Structure 1
């Protein structure tokens, strides 16, 4: 048995074992340990029993019965015997009973009685351990009277103490510290240990609570002020900087209340504190986040507003203040819909957000206090708390006043168009039209929008193919269609269409414009009918009929011409008119005479016409081959003159040298055939100058301007020639500005071939001084 209770290094023999047990018993001063036999005679009495009951060991050991420790009432009731029997039967009896000291004083004690047995297990006596719990019982009664505990939880003072101790030890987040009036620490729970870092043994009954304050607060006497305020006001609460054992500082929320005894006298303080550094950090972060969010909200140029489920404004930004003209303080709490031109539509908008969760591009118009109207598009959605409960609506308004004005301007341009204009979606549905489209179809805009584009044409499949071609190729031009009016009227149109895109290049639809060509088609039909009638008359002629271009080419013939030549119309057209005659030159001369006659008819002649242009007449007399003498005379000549050469009668004294204005002719346009053959006018029918000409009447006839590029025939009688040149203006309708006409008179002993040249203002002042520059076709 001894080997089971003692370590051999501590107890080596029986004497040491007895001494060890005696030492333990004597050391137990708080608990009374009493040994007795089966009849209750006291056999063991320790120091705790002596202190608790007042009897000396010599007075009771082997002499007295344990009944002396019971009250007379319990002895009379047989309570001691019941306790021993219960302990013997159950192995233990435990409870709180009234006990009596040597001086007769009674007290409450918690008593545990257990049987003692020998080596064979037979009971040989009892061990009674007891402790004075009078104060605990009194405390329990006070707690019970104060109704701090449920009687089912706390039955006695010890249970109350255990319960309170358990509570204090369980409080790990809050520091609970009890101290006296001077600040000495009397209670230190687990939360205090964790928060401040001190163990209970280091501070309880030893340290002052001022060590938990930072030195600055201690020097300022803050800890004394706090305790005085708590004693005066019943409580002090605030945030303090505290110091841990390792010197680290932290911010704590502290509550100090005074402790009082049963008479209400202050006996100390209870200090409860909690580290709120994390809370402060989170609060600062939250403030920073809120400030950041607020700055973003205020930085927005769009009006932002939050709306409660009741439709009241709960917050706005500065842009909302500016757009309404109402201060934030007055806006908050008012009805959201009161600031719009259409309050019912605004109310319907935010109600739609609550029912559907959001709205996009909801059109409204905000009315400023000055009367100014701002067109906006609202995007809004609900916002919720962390549990998902809807708190309200957050709405942002985008100012679209400028866009609406631009849209109205663009709309006015569209509506001003006299051509039907239409936009078509990729699905072939009409998305917009102008008023002209309404008039062309006889269907109102509201009914046109959303319907199939091809439904309003006489050929729906062709119309559908047209806009599909636009989507595939990007555009169409002059696409013929016919619009059917509701009255049955048909309008022939040519459509020009192309795709239109958004700012990212995505194709949104087709924009098509229709040009009404009904009148043009009617005119073309009339022209075709007239042409057919004229053609029928031409074909009815039994004489060959032909049309000839200025180049001498056949452009059209009738059936009689085909029969006369034996050549089909297709082969005749484009060939030379003169090729089908026995005398081609004569045929050519014939149609050229027609052209010359037509030109003469268009040019007025004669001196009676009002002179409007100045011309110069120059005559040159070759003295030798390299040297010439020039005489010029100026006279007013009317601007539209004949094509034939103009002989000058007066070749008088020469005027001062003057640059002749450029009147360079371009006659190839009128007589292109002159390039291919010599004109009969230049080879056979040369005209003579009038006899009164100042040059010479006996000279051989000199050629006038030739429409060909051939040189004029040389003189044969005398070797010298006298040339006379004059500007002949051309009609403005024939585009050329002027030309030179020249004549030659033999005056020298040598034969000289004379050329007439066109005046060039860049190279000469007189046409007679242009050396060997040929006249280009008249």
Structure 2
């Protein structure tokens, strides 16, 4: 009986060993039929082996019962080396330490934070189950990111019989996430460090970035703006869309309704530019030039929009001063009783006053913007004295005005001359004309002015006196 008993025990041990290691064939009861426990074990084994997700199961003694094919590939450790041992840690760690399944099996879940601090959470779907994400440097050549879940395994009677742990390789996803975060961080530093006020909105119109330059311009800190759709507050007294909002809505066709004078960028597609005065910015309002462009993914999917704002208040002020100065200059020149014209560096007429219109019988509208001012004085095209000064061709003055000119005693870079112009009037006119160079505040030559005094009567009187003197002699 003792021998029979030992043989029976030996047979049970062999059957158990076959079952634990995956079992090449079912263990049969007397009569050849497999036992219920063997069928269940083989069914569980087949299910776990069929998982596309790496998985292993340990018993209450922490020894591995199942180690599926997917985990063999992931860990490069065959099941034959692990099943029946408590060395499952070898697949994931350089030194022996508990896996999450071990902690659940021991019922010491309070120790999970010690091993997985900041990396785990309780499962929302299963009782007695925990999930975690971690990087395993000893997996593969460069390490792998795994999302793993461990759950207690209980029998029909509710008794704890083991633990199951599944492991999902999420390396590609995590690398993409890390790369995305790095790109976003670099973008943040670029935007944050830009001296140009800038903000970015997402598809929900909520602010993602609000840089320091815009904080200073708007007097609104980023902490008040990020995560809200209140960016309009920086520019308008009442809620209305910014240009970035219209691009997020994919309605560029209505931009003109909100921003007069808007123009499509000549450099970038889907980019719009505009200028405007914002009375609610600063103490007395600010002029801004703003550019908005949609943000798209590499697959051209719309993700948001970025808007940059350049404070051009000083430029506008200078432009206004220039306009006012030009208006004053025009008024002064137009008010001259002496005929005068002004040309630019390109020899085109900028001003042609009323007195010169009367003298030349040529209206300003026919001459301004052209280089045909010579028509008023000569039958064929040739330079006027103002043209020679614009070209800094003073050496050529004698060629065109030999014996008729002299350098001004009053003004630098100015010449005077007297000549008869047979094409002027019915029988020609005598003119005394003065040309002077015009320079800007930096000393750069920008044009020349020429004034013309009709001295025909004076010349006629002088000629009469000369004739009378000759007759008297």
Q: Tell me the TM-score normalised to structure 2 length.
A: 0.52
| Greater gyration radius | 1
State the partner residue of 2:226: 449
Q: Which deviates more from structure 2 when the two are superposed, residues 331-340 or residues 516-525?
A: 331-340
Q: Secondary structure at the match of 1:584?
A: coil
Of 397, 402, 415, the match for 2:192: 415
Find the aligned partners of 1:419 and 1:476 in 2 and give their Cα distance.
17
Find the aligned partners of 1:252 and 1:395 in 2 and give their Cα distance.
30
1:381 shift after superposition? 7.4
Deviations along 1:361-409, whole A, 9 cap, x unmatched? Answer: x9x99899xxxxx9x9x978797979999x8997867355555444433
Find the aligned partners of 2:239 and 2:9 in 1 and give their Cα distance.
92
Alpha carbons of structure 1 residues 231 and 498: separation in structure 2 relative to 1, 3 Å:
closer
Answer yes or no: is the 8 Å Cα contact 1:339–1:366 preserved in 2: no
Alpha carbons of structure 1 residues 584 and 326: separation in structure 2 relative to 1, 3 Å:
farther
Find the aligned partners of 1:356 and 1:568 in 2 and give their Cα distance.
96
The yes-or-no answer on 1:285 pairing with 2:78 is no
Q: Secondary structure at the match of 2:339?
A: coil
Find the aligned partners of 1:358 and 1:460 in 2 and give their Cα distance.
52
Deviations along 1:184-211, whole A, 9 cap, x unmatched? Answer: xxxxxxxxxxxxxxxxxxxxxxxxxxxx
State the partner residue of 2:33: 274
Q: Secondary structure at the match of 1:424?
A: strand
Deviations along 1:557-603, whole A, 9 cap, x unmatched? Answer: 1232234445442223237223334x535xx66715861796355xx
Deviations along 1:10-45, whole A, 9 cap, x unmatched? Answer: xxxxxxxxxxxxxxxxxxxxxxxxxxxxxxxxxxxx
Of 372, 375, 384, the match for 1:591: 384
Answer yes or no: is the 8 Å Cα contact 2:26–2:42 preserved in 1: no
Find the aligned partners of 1:577 and 1:384 in 2 and give their Cα distance.
100
Q: Secondary structure at the match of 2:195?
A: coil
Find the aligned partners of 2:392 and 2:184 in 1 and give their Cα distance.
59
1:77-92 residue pairs with structure 2 within 5 A? none
1:488 shift after superposition? 5.2
1:496-515 residue pairs with structure 2 within 5 A? 496-515=291-310
Q: Secondary structure at the match of 2:338?
A: coil
Alpha carbons of structure 1 residues 497 and 317: separation in structure 2 relative to 1, 3 Å:
farther
Alpha carbons of structure 1 residues 230 and 467: separation in structure 2 relative to 1, 3 Å:
same
State the partner residue of 1:539: 334
Point out where structure 1 has 5 or more consecutive residues left out of the alignment.
1-226, 241-249, 255-270, 300-314, 369-373, 602-641, 646-678, 686-732, 734-778
The yes-or-no answer on 1:337 pairing with 2:113 is yes
Of 433, 438, 442, the match for 2:215: 438
Alpha carbons of structure 1 residues 501 and 544: separation in structure 2 relative to 1, 3 Å:
same
Cα-Cα RMSD: 5.3
Point out where structure 2 has 5 or more consecutive residues left out of the alignment.
16-24, 51-66, 77-87, 104-108, 138-142, 253-268, 404-443, 445-473
Alpha carbons of structure 1 residues 395 and 416: separation in structure 2 relative to 1, 3 Å:
farther
Deviations along 1:152-173, whole A, 9 cap, x unmatched? Answer: xxxxxxxxxxxxxxxxxxxxxx
Answer yes or no: is the 8 Å Cα contact 1:440–1:485 preserved in 2: no
Find the aligned partners of 1:589 and 1:495 in 2 and give their Cα distance.
47
Q: Secondary structure at the match of 2:299?
A: coil
Find the aligned partners of 1:236 and 1:522 in 2 and give their Cα distance.
102
State the partner residue of 2:288: 493
Find the aligned partners of 2:224 and 2:96 in 1 and give their Cα distance.
45
1:254-265 residue pairs with structure 2 within 5 A? 254=29
Answer yes or no: is the 8 Å Cα contact 1:457–1:481 preserved in 2: no
Q: Secondary structure at the match of 1:337?
A: helix
Deviations along 1:476-525, whole A, 9 cap, x unmatched? Answer: 33322456778656443222222112343211111222222122112212
Q: Secondary structure at the match of 1:543?
A: coil
State the partner residue of 2:4: 230
Q: Tell me the TM-score normalised to structure 1 length.
A: 0.34
1:352-367 residue pairs with structure 2 within 5 A? 353=124
Find the aligned partners of 1:416 and 1:431 in 2 and give their Cα distance.
15
Find the aligned partners of 1:446 and 1:359 in 2 and give their Cα distance.
35
Task: Report the count of equivalent residues.
Answer: 326
Answer yes or no: is the 8 Å Cα contact 2:192–2:212 preserved in 1: yes
1:342-381 residue pairs with structure 2 within 5 A? 343=117, 346=119, 350-351=121-122, 353=124
